[in-house]
Amino acid sequence: MSAPDVISNVLAERYASAAMKNLWSPRGRVGLERDFWIAVMKAQRDLGVPIPADAIKDYERVKTQIDLESIAQRERVTLHDVKARIEEFSELAHRQFIHLGLTSRDLTENVEQLQIIRALELVRFKVAAALLALSRQAEAHRDVMITGRTHNVPAQPTTLGKRLAMFGQELQIAFARLDELIARYPVRGLKGAVGTQLDQLTLLGGDAGKVDQLEQRVLRHLGFKASLTAVGQVYPRSLDFDAVTALHQVAAAAASFATTIRLMAGAGLLTEGFQPGQVGSSAMPHKVNARNCERICGFATILSGYVTMTGALAGHQWNEGDVSCSVVRRVALPDAFYALDGSLETFLTVLRQMEVFPAAIAAENERNLPFLTTTTILMEAVKQGAGRETAHEAIKEHALAAAKALRSGGDADLLARLAGDKRIGLGKRALSAILAEAHRFVGSAPHQVDAFVDDVKPLAKRFKGSADYEPARLL
Amino acid sequence: MSAPDVISNVLAERYASAAMKNLWSPRGRVGLERDFWIAVMKAQRDLGVPIPADAIKDYERVKTQIDLESIAQRERVTLHDVKARIEEFSELAHRQFIHLGLTSRDLTENVEQLQIIRALELVRFKVAAALLALSRQAEAHRDVMITGRTHNVPAQPTTLGKRLAMFGQELQIAFARLDELIARYPVRGLKGAVGTQLDQLTLLGGDAGKVDQLEQRVLRHLGFKASLTAVGQVYPRSLDFDAVTALHQVAAAAASFATTIRLMAGAGLLTEGFQPGQVGSSAMPHKVNARNCERICGFATILSGYVTMTGALAGHQWNEGDVSCSVVRRVALPDAFYALDGSLETFLTVLRQMEVFPAAIAAENERNLPFLTTTTILMEAVKQGAGRETAHEAIKEHALAAAKALRSGGDADLLARLAGDKRIGLGKRALSAILAEAHRFVGSAPHQVDAFVDDVKPLAKRFKGSADYEPARLL
Amino acid sequence: MSAPDVISNVLAERYASAAMKNLWSPRGRVGLERDFWIAVMKAQRDLGVPIPADAIKDYERVKTQIDLESIAQRERVTLHDVKARIEEFSELAHRQFIHLGLTSRDLTENVEQLQIIRALELVRFKVAAALLALSRQAEAHRDVMITGRTHNVPAQPTTLGKRLAMFGQELQIAFARLDELIARYPVRGLKGAVGTQLDQLTLLGGDAGKVDQLEQRVLRHLGFKASLTAVGQVYPRSLDFDAVTALHQVAAAAASFATTIRLMAGAGLLTEGFQPGQVGSSAMPHKVNARNCERICGFATILSGYVTMTGALAGHQWNEGDVSCSVVRRVALPDAFYALDGSLETFLTVLRQMEVFPAAIAAENERNLPFLTTTTILMEAVKQGAGRETAHEAIKEHALAAAKALRSGGDADLLARLAGDKRIGLGKRALSAILAEAHRFVGSAPHQVDAFVDDVKPLAKRFKGSADYEPARLL
Amino acid sequence: MSAPDVISNVLAERYASAAMKNLWSPRGRVGLERDFWIAVMKAQRDLGVPIPADAIKDYERVKTQIDLESIAQRERVTLHDVKARIEEFSELAHRQFIHLGLTSRDLTENVEQLQIIRALELVRFKVAAALLALSRQAEAHRDVMITGRTHNVPAQPTTLGKRLAMFGQELQIAFARLDELIARYPVRGLKGAVGTQLDQLTLLGGDAGKVDQLEQRVLRHLGFKASLTAVGQVYPRSLDFDAVTALHQVAAAAASFATTIRLMAGAGLLTEGFQPGQVGSSAMPHKVNARNCERICGFATILSGYVTMTGALAGHQWNEGDVSCSVVRRVALPDAFYALDGSLETFLTVLRQMEVFPAAIAAENERNLPFLTTTTILMEAVKQGAGRETAHEAIKEHALAAAKALRSGGDADLLARLAGDKRIGLGKRALSAILAEAHRFVGSAPHQVDAFVDDVKPLAKRFKGSADYEPARLL
């Protein structure tokens, strides 16, 4: 009889990329912890703590021997996860020099923050990739006029490129926030059980200067620029909320895009595309479901749950700290990153595969354009000598009748109606001429696309590989 | 080189019980699906669909051959999870008779609802167990007077048993809700792609009566009493919100208990106890951390996130249904149940292991009791002939002075102060006599405990095994 | 110079009905409190507390003299809202007999619960009204075939009536939950400062039987059947969560309806209608925005925020109670009810005003029907002697080509394509005959409408006036 | 008979400051809108739109005649709030030149963003004030040793100043985020119905340069540095989420402080203080409830609800925009700012009024210090010649026994126990000498206070008046 299946993390295993999984995997984490312990030991030794050089070598030699089952075994005895990992590492090295003067949180807070910032950087890279992919699509459809909609009802023309740039704009805001967060994200550092550095001070003979140097060494090892000065046992949990809400903003921008793609797919104007070999609906071959876009929306919903979780942690620590946050952070932090990573991988896939149906778009424009241009027609009628109020009244009459015809299943045929009305004074040819100028009705849309494309361009250089990042095949 | 580790589901693997994991495991689910398909086939055959009896036997023969990796392999090709499981089962049986006239959701909605109701029943059982455990503790401490607190400040006496019954009362409300939900929880049934039963009607020759019979057979197989009549492709997502918010109410009741235990542990009045072999803090042996209670609070926070997720799904389906909920439900449903299961297991553990320090409780009472009894003293003084306003003023003066002394680090010594004041007219002996009646100050508390214990008692019979349910050893 | 404007509550003043506002208005609340105090006094007097009958009359005489400004003035001095209301009432009556042996929460908890249950009952009435209005619309469009959609893409036919019944089904679930909650909703009762009834016991000479009688009298006055036995200073806050999540389920059902109406309006299939005199978009007369349906969606989002608030209160009280919930409940409870009331008023308005465009619906069917019937065509082809695989292949080819033509802006013209293919063997006439049977493609939809209508019918009797409830004119 | 009371906004009327109320008041908003219209008219006129200078003067003359009731009257007819405000202003001026080429959202989005950024700036000012007030308290208690706690249980000494600085640190993070947000917060600008600037282009003769100039003029008027380029009818709703989550971080930092003050008040170590004239509990004069701190926690909970609301809006707009967000934003935006303003006013009040009880703190230290110093004692014992393991065992024995004694209601008396044990070899004097050095046990705490105070100091200069900002009297 075989061992029971391990229940896997759905977000990690179905949706997240290998890079994101590596950052948060238990194995990866043990590796980061061991590196951290070794860095601390080296710094402590340099600052006078009597740790033999050989001992450090012994730890280094075994640091990649990571046996998760053995660690789990130890934890089942002591019910103390950090203790289990200390014992495992020290027994492998046959030494007892790690974790000197450290409290558990000196280890775990710093390592978790390291995971967080690296994960944020990975997210930033993919957001850059998404912005670039979006800008390519916006550019490609810069001048494709579409029927702009407000309240889901035709309103004024815009271009597909502009619509895509609009989602890009939202993503840029999320990017800016991410960028700021990464730039200022501070690490807790080695602060001891209640944050006073007492044990490191004791270890280093009460020399505050040496404690500072140790802290600097640790920061340098971790790659952080800033550490927090006045913390308790833990860093303020609102910093987790800061991170997770930044992720939600990215997810929301992707969901804005996905929501409108779903609407357009429903109207037959485009498809999010298929992956090679993918089966859509076997029964109905004409059906192209926007299931990836639906999924992108789902990821944003998931993120909103982790926002609630981390939001509920913020402000709820007691005194110098407790672990009421522990189980929450074990879930919410990695899972928020997995979910966003899944969202970005899916988003990038859609951006590569989406297929636009220009003829269907044109047909929709044709149905709606006459309505959308009545303002312009009025102005032209007045120029040709019609009375403004008379012409306005006439146009309104016809627009209403045409709308009614449309709803009755007939053709709106608004142009014909207008052409036949002497109060307006514009013949079929004149009216057609106005509609032929339709490309002007998109206003600044193409220029707005250009501005977006220009804004985004530098990201390709700043983040090597982002311009041609290929998402892995989705499930 | 070995395969990369599977990232496991933390909630399932660290905290949930085996029973809950089985309900939601991929393997368990495949089993439920195959049972469902077989039940449908049998019913269809009985109703005239030409399915050979041998074919059904062929499926039955292989139904426990569940190879998750093979199924995953298939899904990676078609990107369609249900299709992958159909193919796997049918190829094992060398037959093609399952899923006739079914849409994917005919399978998945029903099976997921089956998982949900079974998980709800498991939760209900454990809530019953918790109520019984709580009632035992309440009974055991029925008359242990403690300093009742409002605003976290001593207010009036109560008993520890009553305090525990108070959390029991909250849990009873959650239990009632759970019980109601289970009683009315309706299943979607076999309704086809947009909910009109078209394909089953076609399959059964347009005979609506037969379609009804098929539906009834399916309900009976699943064990549901009620099915939904007018659904689309999916059942209304607010039903998931209904379930998850019921779970949150249970988690909140447990968290109410845990929060106050944490406060009491901080005052040294009790401990949540240790599991055999558990190491608390190696450095400080006097330290008994209420880490399990902190964890119970954490689980409630986690649930609140799943409430947000399922709350955001409710009301957001388009037309007859979409899958923007899919990834969310894959995460939120099992994880909500795992989290609550973890909470209940932890709660039950604390209820078995908690240790009360009566002497410390008595010492706290002694410090506060004089303050808490000033009302009674006033009444006695008046009875002995003191003027009400005079006595009131005198008592107030002393109480304020005593409180100030306490804050200044001294003894409050309120009784001595009062005894020395002629305006009150009660000597040391008289005052001591009042305090000796302290047991009366707990008012109806003991009777309220009795009422709670009586209320809860029938659960032991209704849910066999609940009275002596033993939670598994925690991590 | 005039006094600064009072900032009004937007939800109450713009959206809620007068009935709901009355339930939660400060003036209404003062009235409920005074009634409560008088009921307690009467009961206390009957049980032997020396309260002169004249004193009660004095209070009764002035009870409707409610001067909110005077009360506010008092509160600005003492910073104690209940004290301010006690003083005001007693000074009006020139008496000092109210609030004997009561703690503030003995008053406020009970009165707030009274507001909650009355508000829940009002909501239930309007949900009944909405179900009846929905059933009328479902019945009216019982047989109107529409293009059912999954993933927002045409899937199978259904009827408009069935689609509406589908939302009705979700609302029925919410109704059932509401009904259960109202039936079991327990009130806190008179329990004193820490829940032990100490002060009432003292007042009534230590006679527990009299305290019980007092409690019963209070319950009868309030109209509750059940009271909580083991409470602290407050009732468990998860009971608020219970209520607010029940509201959210109602809001979600309304939002499900509204979301799909918005989609249908975007496709020109119907409109949510106009109120008399309403101006839509002055510029574009053909534009009928589903702004009320958008608002219904907004209300559900608002409710989700109050779910988070009350969810965060649950499990967070310390000891016998604190007031960290106070400001939250002042906001979340009335505002949740105002928001839901706004949603229901809007929902009922749309249900009365919505206008369906059958011709536009028929035109959509015509475009999509051929695709939706390929399964049936296949079956007929086989009946007429075609090889199943050959015919399937042929149909698939044509369906794909037709879909492509559609996307290219052309006509799909699937029937013509199929009619021209000898592999299928069905001529134009035969194919038209199949499509003429289109009404069968809606499957059980009409019967499902009937079932819904029947289910809902008894509500009209159970809730007098619900069948012809007229929402007030919206803003 | 009088008009029915207006239901007031509780957050605004009970808790928010006049400054915050002014920013969001309907009257204030009408003023901002009229200024905006006039600024647009002037710019349009300068750019060649034929608007008479006199017309602008006519508008300016009446712009402060704001009659909310008249506007409300108009809205009740047209059901269009912006239209009502246009008509009112134009009829007052007897002109028709405002709102030329504008869509409603051109007005409302910009004005709402103006309210948001001004409100963010007001919040930033108060956060600066709170940081300065906190730094004064931290400095004042820089060296007051307290018993640091983790898991709510005594852990290691720290100082009260350090504990306060710890909350300051969290607030600094929130401040940094706020500062970044204000610096980059972009306004939507004049973009027209679907964001393409079509109508302004038409109005300005198709001259894109002029449209840019108009936009620049509008930005300058509003005082924004950046505008969004590629928007639809609305700015991305995740920007609201950006703002509201920044508010929540501030509220969470305040709640962290308040939570621990509540714990300390429960242990009698300090009080949040009283306002002059405030009545606490009339019955129990020794009771000083931390009700303001409880309220601060409540405000954070409220904010978490608005986080959910704005989080649910993000990613849910359809196409170029809809108004499903409208009712949500009417509630969530002002109310989030009112709630945070209430939190900050309360926080500032507590920071001014809190009173520390040093003697009670010292008494707590005395009880716990022996336990907290066992590590140091061990080191000294070894120095004096004791064997490490022997001494460790001995200390552990005594610590356990002392802890047990404490729980049994006796004195721990750990020092006496240790002094009597020859295995340790330290007499009473030696042990007392160690404890006399207790001030060292606070480690770097005082220096961490200094660092915090230094960090915060520049804010006093940067935000004039922040150092001596006086919150208004609370209710």
ipTM of this complex prediction, to 2 decimal places? 0.95
Assess whether pLDDT exceeds 80 at residue B395: yes
Q: Tell me how many residue pairs between chain B and chain D have CB atoms under 8 A apart.
A: 118
Q: Do C289 and A375 touch (CB under 8 A)?
A: no
CATH number at residue C177: 1.20.200.10
Choose among D362, D374, D409: nearest Cβ to B363.
D409
Q: How far is CA A27 from CA A66, A334, A402, in A?
A: 7, 14, 67
Give the mean pLDDT of C28-49.
96
**Residue C474 belongs to some domain of the structure:** no
Reduced to 3 states (helix: H, G, I; strand: E, B; else coil), residue D149 is strand
* Domain co-membership, C223 together with C194: yes
Q: Tell me how many residue pairs between chain C and chain D have CB atoms under 8 A apart.
A: 182
- Which subunits sit against D, judged by 3+ Cβ pairs under 8 A? A, B, C
Give the separation between CA B345 and CA B17, rounded to whole angstroms. Answer: 8
pLDDT of residue C79: 83
Model confidence over D382-391: pLDDT tens digits? 778 887 778 8
Choose among B306, B326, B342: nearest Cβ to A305.
B306
**Residue A466 belongs to some domain of the structure:** no
CATH number at residue D67: 1.10.275.10
Q: Do A325 and B298 touch (CB under 8 A)?
A: yes
pLDDT of residue C462: 98
Q: Do A285 and C150 touch (CB under 8 A)?
A: no
Choose among D228, D242, D322: nearest Cβ to A169.
D228
pLDDT of residue B383: 75
Assess whether pLDDT exceeds 50 at residue D1: no
pLDDT tier for residue B286 given thresholds of 50, 70 and 90? low
Assess whether pLDDT exceeds 60 at residue B280: no
Contacts of A156 in chain D (CB under 8 A): 192-194, 196, 198
Give the separation between CA B258 and CA B296, rounded to whole angstroms. Answer: 6
**Residue C5 belongs to some domain of the structure:** no
- The structure's pTM equals 0.96
**Residue D51 belongs to some domain of the structure:** yes
Q: Do B330 and A10 touch (CB under 8 A)?
A: yes
Contacts of D241 in chain A (CB under 8 A): 245, 248-249, 252
pLDDT of residue B79: 83
* Interface mutation vs chain B, best among D144, D145, D151, D418, most B CBs within 10 Å: D151
* Domain co-membership, A223 together with A338: yes
Range of the domain at B383: 373-442
| Phi and psi torsions of D237, nearest 5° | -70, -15
* Domain co-membership, A350 together with A407: no
Give the mean pLDDT of D389-415.
81
Choose among C290, C372, C408: nearest Cβ to A357.
C408
pLDDT tier for residue B1 given thresholds of 50, 70 and 90? very low
Nearest C-alpha in A relative to B324? A294
* Domain co-membership, C224 together with C317: yes
* Domain co-membership, B202 together with B68: no
Q: Do C399 and A360 touch (CB under 8 A)?
A: no
A368 compared with B43, residue with greater pLDDT: B43
pLDDT of residue C85: 95
Q: Do D444 and A201 touch (CB under 8 A)?
A: yes
Model confidence over A108-128: pLDDT tens digits? 999 999 999 999 999 999 999
pLDDT of residue A1: 38
Least confident range of A263-272, B110-119, D75-84, D350-359: D75-84
**Residue D151 belongs to some domain of the structure:** no
| Domain finish residue from D76, D100, D124 | D100
* Interface mutation vs chain D, best among C29, C324, C328, C344, most D CBs within 10 Å: C324
pLDDT of residue C1: 38
Model confidence over C102-143: pLDDT tens digits? 999 999 999 999 999 999 999 999 999 999 999 999 999 999
Largest CA distance in chain D: 102
Give the mean pLDDT of B130-144.
98
Contacts of A158 in chain D (CB under 8 A): 194-196, 232, 320
Q: Give the closest-approach CA distance of B4 to chain C in angstroms.
A: 35
D314 compared with B288, residue with greater pLDDT: D314
* Domain co-membership, A229 together with A182: yes
The tally of domains found in chain C comes to 3
| Partners of C146 in the β-ladder | C158
Would you tell me how many other CB atoms lie within 10 Å of the CB of residue C74? 18
Q: Do D5 and C328 touch (CB under 8 A)?
A: no
| Phi and psi torsions of C424, nearest 5° | -90, -40
pLDDT of residue B276: 64
Least confident range of A165-169, B328-332, B395-399, D216-220: B395-399
Positions in chain A short of pLDDT 50: 1-2, 282
Q: Kindly give the interhelix angle for D374-383 and D358-372, rounded to the nearest 10 degrees.
A: 50
Model confidence over D56-101: pLDDT tens digits? 999 999 999 999 999 999 998 878 889 899 999 999 999 989 999 8
Model confidence over C336-371: pLDDT tens digits? 999 999 999 999 999 999 999 999 999 999 888 888
Assess whether pLDDT exceeds 60 at residue D285: no
Give the mean pLDDT of D435-458.
93
Give the mean pLDDT of B336-362.
96
Choose among D268, D358, D396: nearest Cβ to B285.
D396
Model confidence over C443-453: pLDDT tens digits? 999 999 999 99
CATH number at residue C390: 1.10.40.30
Q: Give the closest-approach CA distance of A190 to chain C in angstroms.
A: 32
pLDDT tier for residue C399 given thresholds of 50, 70 and 90? confident
* Domain co-membership, A142 together with A91: no
**Residue C471 belongs to some domain of the structure:** no
* Domain co-membership, B164 together with B296: yes
The candidate with the shortest Cα–Cα distance to A331, out of B6, B306, B11, is B11
| Domain finish residue from A102, A136, A166 | A102
Annotate chain B with three-state secondary structure.
CCCCCCCECHHHHHHCCHHHHHHHCHHHHHHHHHHHHHHHHHHHHHCCCCCCHHHHHHHHHHCCCCCHHHHHHHHHHHCCHHHHHHHHHHHHHCCCCCCCCCCHHHHHHHHHHHHHHHHHHHHHHHHHHHHHHHHHHHHHCCCCEEEEEECCEEEEEEEHHHHHHHHHHHHHHHHHHHHHHHHHCCECCCCCCCCCCHHHHHHCCCCHHHHHHHHHHHHHHHCCCCECCCCCCCCCCHHHHHHHHHHHHHHHHHHHHHHHHHHHHHCCCEECCCCCCCCCCCCCCCCCCCHHHHHHHHHHHHHHHHHHHHHHHCCCCCCCCCCCCHHHHHHHHHHHHHHHHHHHHHHHHHHHHCEECHHHHHHHHHHHHHHHCHHHHHHHHHHCCCCHHHHHHHHHHHHHHHHHHHHCCCCCCHHHHHHCCCCCCCCHHHHHHHHHHHHHHHCCHHHHHHHHHHHHCHHHHHCCCCCCCCCCCCC
Q: Give the closest-approach CA distance of A149 to chain C in angstroms.
A: 9
Give the separation between CA C296 and CA C253, rounded to whole angstroms. Answer: 10
Mean pLDDT of chain D: 92
Nearest C-alpha in A relative to B289? A322
Q: Do A149 and D312 touch (CB under 8 A)?
A: no
* Domain co-membership, B172 together with B30: no
* Domain co-membership, C343 together with C367: no
Assess whether pLDDT exceeds 90 at residue D289: no
Give the separation between CA D475 and CA D469, rounded to whole angstroms. Answer: 18
**Residue C392 belongs to some domain of the structure:** yes
Nearest C-alpha in A relative to B330? A10
**Residue B448 belongs to some domain of the structure:** no
Mean pLDDT of chain B: 92
pLDDT of residue C405: 83
pLDDT of residue C408: 79
Q: Give the closest-approach CA distance of C418 to chain D in angstroms.
A: 36
Assess whether pLDDT exceeds 80 at residue D135: yes
* Domain co-membership, A144 together with A112: yes
* Domain co-membership, A293 together with A346: yes
| Phi and psi torsions of D474, nearest 5° | -80, 165
Contacts of A4 in chain B (CB under 8 A): 18, 21, 25
